[in-house]
Structure formats: structure tokens, C-alpha cells
Chains A and B, each alone.
Chain A
Amino acid sequence: MNPPTEISAQHDASAMRSVWLHRLAVLAVTLVWPLIWVGGLVTTYDAGMAVPDWPGTYGYNLFLYPISTWLSGPFDLFIEHGHRLLGAVVGMVAIALVAVAATRERRRWVIALAATILVAVILQGALGGVRVLLGDRTVAMIHGCFGPVVFVLCCVAAAVTSRSWWDRRWDGRAAADRKRPGRGVVSLATTVVVLSYVQLLLGAQLRHVQPTTTPGMFTLEVASHITGAFVLWALTPVLFLLVRRCGDLTLSRPAGWLIWFVGAQILLGTGTWIVNYGWPSVLAFLPFGEGFVVRSKGFIDSIIVTGHVAVGSLILATSAVVLLQVLRHRSLVARGAIGASRDADTEKLGDDRSSHENNVAVPV
């Protein structure tokens, strides 16, 4: 591919990319993560049942509940109603995402992804409602486990609509110099994603523990959670080194973040245990642990616990995006994206519009 052709291709790529779709996906990401924080705070404060009805709030329409009562009322009510309002905003963004995808996006699987996000957001809201109506902590746990899945979907949407996604697609010359990630990299990246989610599920089990859970089972879950954390931490540098060999910074950078995220998460997890159950025996050598007093629902303590929940979602999403990019990179290099013709590339990438659609003029 000669330079003029490449420049032309870049222009065409930019033209096909919907900036607004990407902005909405990023907006969804920036809303869902705080939503996970607030949701985590709701659980930390046991405020899930601070509002007994759903979808309304104490008989009011969700959006018509008096602001003064909301802001000046009990903290539990404040965060639970706030969680619902923020969830509703995310729902609106998800609707807009689908609308824009339907009108501006040519890749069907991206449209399907946007639709999946909307369905997931609705399902997540419904799970929250069922949790309230049934007063069921197990449903609360499912609700808590599904939130990160929604977050991952939004992150994936942001990734596949981003400029770097398209740049990688059309940057043929650069791609030619890059190494194709092997199956080992894909397996490792997949393992990291799966392990991140398993960790999240185990954490949810510990957080939403049933009164009838036996001490042995709880201990087993804690041991698994700790072991899983260190296994995950050990895998992240390996993943980073492997993806770095691919020669793509947009790939290795998030893999590098993962090392820090998991490290921070282990610290947050330790903090979570300390503020919930006191100083662990394994840290008894530290001088300030002996007189440590656990404070029930202290603000800083709650932030530590909730931060642990939120960073768990961040790790899952980051690892999912790394996996996505690895697969993308592998796919592009394998098919020689690279010197292959744009039309062939478009066809193989699954942009499965009919050929006449591909020829529609693109307004710039």
C-alpha cells in the first residue's frame, strides 16, 4: 500500500467512524463506574432496602420524589434513591446509544452490542427492582455481579468505537511490522478475564454472605479469593510482557495498568478485611494492629470497602478490553490487514452489510 492510498484510507476510516457513538459509549463508561461505586456504597451501608417500593420511591414516580426530602433525609435513603436516579440516567444513555448506533453505525455487531448494552441495563435495573420487591439478598448479589458485566459491555463499546480501533484497522504499514499474538497470549488474556470475574463472584459471595453459610465454607471462599488475587497478580506482568512483544502501545498500556490495578486491589482487599473483621493474624507483626478498633460503617472504612468493589469491576473491564484488543490485533495481522485491500478487509472484519451498503457515500 503506497502512502497516498493509506492516507486516503485513513480519511475513509474517519468518515465511517461515528464520533457521537463513541462519545455516548464513553459517557456510559463514565456513568456506569460511578453507578457501581454508589451501588457498592448501598450494599456497604445495608441501604438496599431503604426504599421499600420499586420502580417508584415511597409512592412517588422515581423522578418526582421531592429533592428536599431526598437530600435532607436519611443517608441510606439518599444513596439508594441516588443509585436509582443514576441508573435511570444510564438507561437513557443506553437508549441514545442504540439510537445512534442504529442510524450512524455500519457494523452490525456493534449495533448488536449497543442493543445488548440496553438490554443489560434494563435487566440490571429489573434485578435491582426484584431485589427490593422480594427483599432478597441473593438477588442483591446477582445484581451486584451483573453490574460489572454492564460496565464491561460499555467499555467494549467505547473501545470498538474509538479512533484507535479504526486507526489500527487502517494503519496497514504499522501493522505489517507488528507481531501476531499467539494462542498463548489469547489464552492468558482470556484466563485473566475469567479469573477477574471469578474473583468478583467470590467477593460478592463474601459480601452478601448468608447467615446460614458455614464457617468452613466462608473460610474456603476467603482462601480462594486471596489465592485468586495473587494468581491474578502473578499473571498480569506475564500478560504485559507478552502483549508488549506485539509492538502496539495501545495494547500493552492497559495490560500494564492491570498490574497496578490488581496490586492496588490487593491492598484494598486487605483494607476491606481489616475494616470489617479487624487486624488479621498474619499482619500481627505490624505495631499498630494490636489496638485497632473496627468501626461499623465509618465513612473512610466504607469508601475502602466500596473502592474494593469498584476496582474489581475496573480490573474486569480492563482485562476484557485487553483481550478484545489482542483478538483484534491477532485477527488483523493474521489476515494481513496490512497489505490486503480495504474492501477485502471490510468484508472479513464482519462488517456484514451488503456490498451495496458499503458503497453508500459517506458525508464528512
Chain B
Amino acid sequence: MFGSGRVGLARTSGVRQFIPLVARGPFGYACAMRIVVPVGLAIGCLWVAGCDAPVDHFPPNRVHALVVSASRQVDAELAAEDSLSVIDAWFGTPEQPRWPKDLLRGDAAQHLVDPDRLVRAAGRVYSDQENHHFGLYNEHCVTCHGVAGGGNGPASLLQNPYPRDFRAGVFKWKSTARSSKPTREDLLRILQHGAPGTAMPSFQTVAGEDLEALIDYVIFLSVRGEVERRLVDIAVDELGYEERRPDADASLLGVVSEAPQAADTDAADLAVAELNEVAGSWAEAPEEVVPVPDETPFDAASIERGRELFHGPIANCVGCHGPDGDGQAATLDYDDWTKEYTTRLAITPDDDDAVRPYRQAGALRPRQIHPRRLTSGVFRGGGDSQTLYRRLLVGIAGTPMPGVIVAQEPSATGLTAEQIWDLVHYIVSLSEQP
């Protein structure tokens, strides 16, 4: 059966005999090196990668603390430290997130986030026999958006545009007013459809309940991050934090103290008020949806009127998008996330020395924002007519794209609803041109 070479066998065994056997082999050390080198490299890589220890805490927003320090000329390190203590106590950890329901006023805010879904979205990635997935944020989002939703995950630096920083509470793609939070439907839409031309994927293959859990977690991270920012602000602006902690009544540490009188301090009142304001803004989002009037006829006359508005002084789209809508106009601008640690602090974004402390604190390299090339027909937040109407009406939050003033009648300062539709029609026609 085994058609060849049967020989008598003299067995050697044991490590002492095996190792020289391998090393000697037919080729001596080369053979041994093929084992030693990969093992050495693997150990080196492990050293670089680090171990897969659970992430105990959300990372602090050090960039915002630096911004507060620079803008107020006050050391905000202690304020940031104490704010983080409050945030950790209220919102838990990446492994065990919490929703501070008891501190929130109003049913909508209390039930903004479902604690069970929050737990499903957090922690380690696994699934069960019923195809329930857990650790969804780590599975789908963390590599780009980061542990705390700061938009500074491992892969963020290589993306253009950068992933969204949820902590500022500013979202681009939504149906609500410019300064409002998005609705759950807005977030679901971006999750399902992705953002064309960016790294934001379409999660159409992910189950609906998983997407709902992700939406909860995104809202959770955004509320958590925005409250953290606000606490640092009020700690410096109102509670008197400097290089030393203020008195007990104004200390944020008292907020998380278990002492019975802790809840009655000024710091506690202010902190809880900020929490409620942020959560409330999310709860009110459905009421902030921008109504869209019936679309006017999409015809040549409408397109021509839109073309005139596009090039005219009121809308002045041409100023950024260029005469042909191809985004070729010379612009130099940045989004609000970048401006926070650059231009708003009188720092030139390409001044590497001035930006360096912020980069070291976790900020990404300042990168220009460019107007959309409308001739491509690619609209990252959705290209349907209703979405484009809202986009023209309220602009894009966090970017230089402005909204317009709505006028009842044609005027020199605003646009009527019909005129906005004309603009929508012209913009759509740009991508349909051969």
C-alpha cells in the first residue's frame, strides 16, 4: 500500500535531540533562522500592538481642555480631570456604559437611550446561536470613530474627510435645523446608506435591531462627550476652576460624592442642568425637523431660474462651487472641528509649531474642507430632492456651507421656497449634463 521505502527506525526523542536535529537539517542555521526570525518578529509586533486588555475608561477630551486653557488663559487641567470624574460616574465605562436616567427630566430624555441596547452595543465582540450580535460599536465603528466617539480612531488619520467627532454634538447629515441634533431616522439613514465618497460604510447587511443599538450608542457617546465639554467650560467659566480646585460648593468632585448634601451644591445644579440641556436637545430633535414644501415642477424654466440664482448675489453658490458647479473655485476654509483648535484660537492651521500641542493631545492634522463638486452627482448626505432642499435651506452644520434666509416674497436678502426648489433643480441638472 505504501509503495516505497520501508526502513528500520532508530528513534530519537526529546527537546535536546530535536532542536539540533532541526538546526542541523540539510541546511543548518538557515533552517533554524527561519524559525527564530519569525518568532522574533512576532514578539516585536506584539510589543507594538499591545495586549487586548479591556478599555477601562473612555479617553478624556484633552483637546477641548487645551482649547479652554488657551481661550480663557487659565489652566483647565484640573477642571478636565474633575469633569471626567463626573462623566465616568454618570456614563460608566466602554465595557459597562450607563445612561443617567435618574438625573434626567422628562420622559423623552430619560428614554432617549435604551440601557439594554447600550450594553449590546458596548464591550467585546461576540454573537450567539440566535444571531444576536454584541459589542456592535467595537465591531463596526471604533476603528474610525474611536472609543469615545472622538473621530480619532486608529484609522482616522488616513481618511478624508475625517470620521465624525460625536462629542461636539454637531452632525452634518440630518433633516433638522442647523443647530439641532439629528433624529434617530437621520442616523438610521446614514447607517443604512453610508456616505458616498467617504469611509462611512453602508450597514445594510446589519440587522435592524443592531442598527438601533448602534444609534443608541452614538447618541450616548454624543451626549456623554458634549456634557464633558460643557462641564470643563462651566468649571472654568462659572465654578472658578484654575490651577487649584474651588471650594466644596463649586467643586465638581462633590457632584459624584456620596455625601447626602452633595446634590445641593452649585456645581451639582450646574452639571445636572448641562446634562439635561444636552439630552433635551436630542429629545427635541423630532420637533426640529425642517418641513419641506411641495416640489415645484422640474422643468427647463425652473432650471434656468436656478442657474441665475446659483450665479446671483443672494445664494452666491458660485463663490465656492465655481461657475460650473465643479468645485473649482479657490477656497481656503476648514470645518468647525478643526477651527476649534486653530482659527478660533488665532492659530494658523498650517503653523505646525502652534498646532503641535493639540496634535499631541489627540487632534488630527488640520485639513482643508473643499466645496462639493456638484457635477459629479455625489451628495454625501443623500441626493434626493427633499434632502437637497433642506441642505440649501439650513446649510451643513459644522462646515462653511451656509443656509439661506427664507422670504415669503422674492427679495434682495432671502430666497422663497420656490426659488430654493429652482436651485435644487439646477443642481440636480448639473450632474445630468453630458
- Which A residues are closer than 8 A to B by beta carbons? 14-21, 46-50, 52, 58, 69, 73-74, 76-77, 100, 102-106, 108-109, 112, 115-116, 135-139, 141-142, 145-146, 149, 186, 190, 193-194, 197-198, 201-202, 204-205, 208-219, 221-222, 276-281, 289-298, 320, 323-324, 327-328, 331, 349-350, 353-354, 356-357, 360, 362-364
User: Which one of B24-32, B256-264, B406-414, B419-427 contacts A?
Assistant: B24-32
B38, CB-defined interface residue at 8 Å: yes
**Which of A69, A145, A205, A211 makes the CB contact (< 8 A) with B153?**
A211
Take A204-B45, A289-B197 as given contacts and tell me if A354 and B152 are in contact as well, using a CB distance cutoff of 8 Å: no
Give the A-binding residues of B (Cβ under 8 A): 1-10, 12, 18, 21-22, 24-27, 30, 33-34, 37-38, 41-42, 45-46, 48-52, 55, 59, 94, 124-131, 138-140, 142-144, 146-147, 152-160, 193-206, 364, 373, 376-378
Q: A18-B5, A204-B45, A218-B158 are in contact. Are A211 and B194 (CB under 8 A)?
A: no
Contact across chains for A296 and B127 when beta carbons are under 8 A apart:
no
Q: Is the CB of B200 within 8 A of A138?
A: no
- Tell me the bound Cα distance from A269 to B157 in angstroms: 18
Docked complex Cα distance between A192 and B45 (Å):
19
Give the docked Cα–Cα distance between A46 and B126 (Å).
8
Q: How far is the CA of A292 from the CA of B48 in the complex (A)?
A: 33
Task: Known contacts A293-B194, A357-B7; decide if A104 and B18 are in contact (CB<8 Å).
Answer: no
Contact indicator B37/A194 (Cβ below 8 Å): yes
Main secondary structure of the interface of A (DSSP, over half): helix
Pick the contact of B197: A46, A141, A216, A290 (CB < 8 A).
A290
CB of A317, distance to nearest CB on chain B (Å): 12
Contact between A19 and B3 (Cβ–Cβ < 8 Å)?
yes
- Per the bound structure, the CA–CA distance linking A115 and B3 in Å amounts to 21
Q: Are A108 and B21 in contact (CB under 8 A)?
A: yes
CB neighbours of A281 from chain B (8 A): 160
A residues near B201, Cβ cutoff 8 Å:
293-296
What 4 A-B pairs have minimum CB-CB distances, sorted nearest first? A49-B126, A74-B131, A215-B157, A294-B201
- Which residues of B are found within 8 Å of A49, using beta-carbon distances? 124-127
Q: CA A142 – CA B21 in complex, angstroms?
A: 26
> In the complex, A221 Cα to B154 Cα: how many Å?
11
- Give chain A nearest CB distance to B24 CB in angstroms: 7
Contact A136 B52 (CB under 8 A): yes
Report whether B7 and A106 are in contact in the complex, using a CB–CB cutoff of 8 Å: yes
Residues of chain B with a CB closer than 8 A to A15's CB: 4-5
List, in ascending order, chain A residues with CB within 8 A of B42's CB. 142, 145-146, 201
Expressed in whole angstroms, the Cα–Cα distance for A245 and B7 within the complex equals 37
**With contact pairs A222-B158, A290-B378 given, residues A298 and B205 touching in the complex (Cβ less than 8 Å):** yes
Identify which of A14, A209, A291, A362 contacts B143 (C-beta below 8 A).
A209
10 additional A-B residue pairs with CB within 8 Å, beyond A49-B127, A278-B199: A103-B6, A197-B37, A212-B147, A216-B157, A218-B154, A278-B198, A293-B194, A327-B26, A357-B10, A364-B3
- Contact status A291-B377, CB under 8 Å: yes
| Known contacts A197-B41, A293-B194, A357-B8; A212/B55 CB under 8 A | yes
Residue of chain B at shortest CB distance from A330: B27
In the complex, the answer to whether B154 meets A112 with C-beta atoms within 8 Å is no
